[in-house]
Amino acid sequence: MNYSEKYQKWLSFADEATKAELISIENNEKEIEDRFYKDLAFGTGGLRGVMGAGSNRMNKYTVGKATLGLANYLKSKYSGEIKVALAYDSRNNSAYFAKVSAEIFANCGLKVFLYDTLVPVPVLSFTTAYLGCNAGVMITASHNPKEYNGYKVYDNRGCQFCTEDAKNAIGFINQIEDFTSIPFGNASKENITMIGEETLSAYLAEVKKQSLFEEKSDLKIVYTPLHGTGNIPVRRMLEGLDVTVVKEQELPDGNFSTVRSPNPEEKDALTIAIEKAKEIGADLVLGTDPDCDRVGIAVKADNGEYVLFTGNQTGALLVKFVLEMKKSTLNPKSTLVKTIVTSELGANIGRKYGLIIEETLTGFKYIGDKINKYEDSGEQEFVIGYEESYGYLVGTHARDKDAVVSAMLICQMAAWYKNQGKTLIDGMNEIYAEYGYYLDSLDPFVLKGKDGAEKIQSLMTYFRENGTALFDGIKKIIDFSAGVGDLPKENVLKFIWNDGSWMAVRPSGTEPKIKVYYSVQDASRENAEKRLADIRKIIGNIIK
């Protein structure tokens, strides 16, 4: 069925609001094509897309199809009572999509535990296992712009669906071709249980167990939840510290009205928080994204300005701090897990402390899956996992990145350094002095629509065919689509230079982007910056 036929089919079954939206674009062929040329697919973060009517959009029908398919998969996998935990973030339509999903699960005979308020991703991850559920669903598009929403699916231990579960669930989802068969609405209330404070408190108690440094300190912190779910849980974990919350960004707002994008990876997301920090002379700025699984920081320098840290820098600092605090309990099983596009700096710190280092594909679900495997085998013990995109986890209370525990530990780390008369900038410079200078960066190139998807595919082909000729000093190119070790196959290329510097190219699994990651190692910061600029220029010319 081509996109025009799918458009007509939707007009035949859609409710009045959806039909009106579709009729409003009837003279816009390009818009119709973009909304119907494909179906939303599961990527590194599950189902995610722009909200609106169409098979390539997030709406009640695509959410309903995913939910019915997931319910059918769970019924094929489990016998007896099947339980699902459901939560949502502060995005527009998140609470609505959660309600739609809860009713469909209930109408399929499943027992649903639905949060009565918005909560972070790691809370849903924890809740799924804590309540003995067979699966969990989080309605969120993480750090994406306001137009997006998404649907993340978790297994019975709170880990996002990995290769086998995702493949099987997608099979059941794809079997649903008749949208009129989706059992919307009128759910039996006895199949839906509302949950809230008791479960959230149980999660926070587990986070508190990861605390590593509670000595008194005069550290001053500015925190912004960026209109998301972090406000209450993060502030509860920072009780007793001097924390100022950015009032303009404190309350939930699905339009994220004070920022261009609610993504702490982007420089301007913390602008208002930094202004507040300058006003009160704060040492540290913290910002969590809407579903509170990522955290970004800025640190006051000697000149009074604030320095934004990359995810790799914060990760390396956390590794050093956590391992130093836990060094008496480390053992030959202790393990650090990072992704293939994350800097080697934190891994090298881990190696110095005697840790096993493991790598996964991009996507925190693979780190969560490692925790599951360690739990099953008993051969390794998870200590810390992180990825360059501002996601960290200490503890096994959750199986996804957790900005609540990360915010607590970052503040404790900053207090530990301050009590020594140092800042996190000093701590970072000490690491560079010991391990060498690492300059890491990311260029995300947005290529929207069908044309963009085709260009991304052609760019990956170009890099595969011409990679060795693009740069001098390439030691090897790793093509993860061919399979590397026990990692699942994935469309990622990694170029490694003779000195250990590297560049990786991968299409995003959840956004219309091709991402290029860089990690340049050099004794000199100036040399590293020049070299990175040269590489980025070449890449920019190819892609643009």
Angle at 475 between CA 467 and CA 487, to 5 degrees: 80
Burial class (CB in 10 A: 0-12, 13-18, 19+), 251: exposed
Residues with active-site annotation: 142
User: Using CA atoms, how far apart are residues 65 and 174, in angstroms rounded to an integer?
Assistant: 8
Judge whether 156 and 75 are in contact, CB under 8 Å: no
- Among residues 157, 44, 151, 166, the alpha carbon closest in space to that of 399 is found at 157
Judge whether 408 and 207 are in contact, CB under 8 Å: yes
SS3 content of the chain, % helix, strand, coil (to 5): 45, 20, 35
Q: For the chain, what's the residue count?
A: 544
Long-range contacts of 10-14 (CB under 8 A, 24+ apart): 10/36, 10/53, 10/54, 10/55, 10/61, 10/179, 13/179, 13/180, 14/53, 14/61
User: Using CA atoms, how far apart are residues 183 and 181, in angstroms rounded to an integer?
Assistant: 6
User: Using CA atoms, how far apart are residues 28 and 344, in angstroms rounded to an integer?
Assistant: 48
Half-sphere exposure of 42 (CA within 13 A, CB side): 27
H-helix or E-strand containing 169? helix 163-174
